[in-house]
Amino acid sequence: MDYVGHIFRPPSEAESLLLQVTIGCSHNGCTYCGMYRDPVQRFRAKPRETVAADLDEAAAYSRDVEPIRRVFLCDGDALVLSTDRLLEILGQIRAKLPHARRVGIYGDARTILRKGDDELLALREAGLGIVYHGAESGDDEVLRRVDKGSTADDAAGAAAMLRRAGIRHSVMVMLGLGGVERSREHAAATARLLTAMDPPFVGTLVTTLVPGTPLAAEADAGRFALPDPWGMLEELRTLVADSAFTRCRFHANHASNYVPLSLNLPADRDGALRTLDALLAQRNPRTLRPESWRGL
Ligand code: SF4
């Protein structure tokens, strides 16, 4: 397989074939993100022949070694490819990987909105099963500060569009992204946004200062400070308490989280709040995942 730069994928795509169809991120502007800053990852689409050769290699593996059942299209916002090109890739996956049951992709709110209902429906019918979307915050001030390039309304609109198309939606939000200064506003607005989006999957990440990013430089200059672990847990508590979901698999078990949680909401809400309240009352550092075990 041809891979350029570091390859990132959602935790739930660990078993998937990682098919790199674009390199980097078309936005590449979020101040906290260090994923695609290497010049080798300058945003571009992979050449058709490279993707086709990767699919031929995967087809041989699927036929001779073990069936490939899931495919994840990389990199950062591969949904930004034209719908015609994505349909071509999905058609090749169907033809060459007959056991593949689901194709996933990263997509941001602007890209989803730009596609529109008809194009998303066509993508779903061609096999696109799930879009992973970093909404990050429901607070427009936080989104503006981190140069997310989209608003909370954009994220809610994108969620509605995916639901109409029948594409599953997995939403990531970032604890601590508003810093100490906007921690309460960030958590409350993010709970409101998650309620409006009502996605079937939510994952929380704890904001980490990545060296070389503008957010790390702001922190070095004293203009941004992350909440401490208890502040992060307060935000998590707000999300669990105030988000109203129809039926959501809610994960706070990414390696960056201080306390791993995996919940079915709303069923597990009260139990989770009891756990979080007990942790927040004790404030015992030994109940937290050690810093050395936490990862990006
Ligand atoms: S859209 Fe995603 S990949 Fe691109 S810069 Fe922002 S966080 Fe990073």
Count Cβ atoms below 10 Å from residue 200 Cβ, excluding itself.
15
Cβ atoms 24, 36 nearer than 8 A: yes
Residue with tokens 């300058």: 42
Q: Tell how far the Cα of 161 is from the centroid of ligand 1, in angstroms.
A: 21
Q: Which helix (H) or strand (E) holds 157?
A: helix 152-165
Beta-carbon contacts of 228 under 8 Å, excluding residues fewer than 6 positions away, are none
Nearest to 128 by CA among 88, 76, 155, 173: 88
Question: Residue type at 204?
Answer: T
Q: Tell how far the Cα of 107 is from the centroid of ligand 1, in angstroms.
A: 10
Q: Tell how far the Cα of 286 is from the centroid of ligand 1, in angstroms.
A: 33
Mutational test site, ligand 1, from 43, 108, 170, max ligand atoms within 8 Å of CB: 108
Q: Whose CA is nearest to atom 2 of ligand 1?
A: 76
List, for residues 21-54, the tens digit of each pLDDT value: 999 999 999 999 999 999 999 999 999 999 999 9
Pocket of ligand 1 (CB under 6 A): 25, 27-30, 33, 35-36, 76-77, 108, 134
List, for residues 271-293, the tens digit of each pLDDT value: 999 999 999 999 988 888 777 66
Mutational test site, ligand 1, from 77, 177, 296, max ligand atoms within 8 Å of CB: 77
Ligand 1 atom closest to Cα of 27? 4
Q: Give residue 164's Cα distance to chain centre.
A: 20
List, for residues 53-103, the tens digit of each pLDDT value: 999 999 999 999 999 999 999 999 899 999 999 999 999 999 999 999 999
Domains and CATH numbers, the chain: 1-106 (3.30.750), 136-296 (no CATH)
Backbone φ and ψ of 140, nearest 5° = -60, -30
Q: Is the pTM of this model over 0.85?
A: yes
